[in-house]
Structure 1
Amino acid sequence: MTIEEIAFELELAGLRIEEQRMLLSSIRRSGFDAKMLDRKLIGMGYAPVFTIYDDENDAYISNVKK
């Protein structure tokens, strides 16, 4: 996902502009991690947005990072 697509999804989720900026800044620093971003959204009181991830893909990514 591009940063613009992520920003659009956050806007649709109803995040305030300050919250969007904070999350987008974090993504620019650390990269996009769908599960982590959803955990942050849940912690902020929002429903998860980026729930389209696949356990098989996660296993593949974990093996690649090692």
Structure 2
Amino acid sequence: MTLEEIEFELELAGLSREQQVKLLSSVKISGFDAKALDKKLQLMGFAPIFSIYEDEDGQNKS
């Protein structure tokens, strides 16, 4: 996923701009990891939204 796609999904999920920037910075540093991002979202009180981008083998879909 591109940063723009991730940002769009975060916006749709209702995250504030500050929360979006925090998560996008994490993605820029560590790369896109759907499970890690969903865990961070859950810790922030949001439902996971990125797990749908992983297949059964745990590989990220782009």
TM range (shorter): 0.7 to 0.9
- Is 1:54 the counterpart of 2:55 in the alignment? yes
CA RMSD of aligned residues (A): 0.9
**So what's the TM-score if we normalise by structure 1?**
0.82
Runs of 4+ in 1 over 4 A off after TM superposition: none
How many residue pairs were aligned? 58
SS of corresponding position for 2:7: helix
Q: Percent identity?
A: 62
Q: Mark the runs of 5 or more structure 2 residues left unpaired by the alignment.
A: none
Q: Which has the higher helix share?
A: 1
Which residue number corresponds to residue 64 of structure 1?
A: none
Larger Rg: 1 or 2? 1
- Bigger relative CO (Cα 8 Å, ≥ 6 apart): 2
**So what's the TM-score if we normalise by structure 2?**
0.87
Q: 1-side partners of 2:6 and 2:20: how far apart?
A: 9
Which residue number corresponds to residue 41 of structure 2?
A: 41
Structure 2 letter corresponding to 1:30: S
